[in-house]
Amino acid sequence: GQNIDQPTEMTATEGAIVQINCTYQTSGFNGLFWYQQHAGEAPTFLSYNVLDGLEEKGRFSSFLSRSKGYSYLLLKELQMKDSASYLCAVRAPLNDYKLSFGAGTTVTVRA
Partner 1 sequence: DAGVTQSPTHLIKTRGQQVTLRCSPKSGHDTVSWYQQALGQGPQFIFQYYEEEERQRGNFPDRFSGHQFPNYSSELNVNALLLGDSALYLCASSSWTSGNTGELFFGEGSRLTVL
Q: Which is nearer to partner 1, 105 or 109 (CB)?
A: 105
Whose CA is closest to 7, among 21, 24, 18?
21
Is 89 among the residues that bind partner 1 (CB under 8 A)?
Answer: yes
In the stretch 8-47, what mask flags binding to partner 1 with x, by CB under 8 A?
Answer: ----------------------xx-x-x-----xxxxx--
Q: Tell me the DSSP string of 22-89.
A: EEEEESS---EEEEEE-TTS--EEEEEE-SSEEEEETTEEEEEETTTTEEEEEE-S--GGG-EEEEEE
Closest of 11, 3, 57 to residue 34, by C-alpha: 57
Overall residue count recorded for the chain in this entry? 111
One residue of 78, 82, 84, 91 binding partner 1 per CB under 8 A:
91
To the nearest whole angstrom, how small is the minimum distance from the Cβ of residue 15 to partner 1? 28
Segment interacting with partner 1, rule: CB under 8 A, options 10-18, 56-64, 72-80, 94-102: 94-102
Q: Where does this chain bind partner 1 (CB under 8 A)?
A: 4, 30-31, 33, 35, 41-45, 48, 87, 89, 91, 94, 96-104
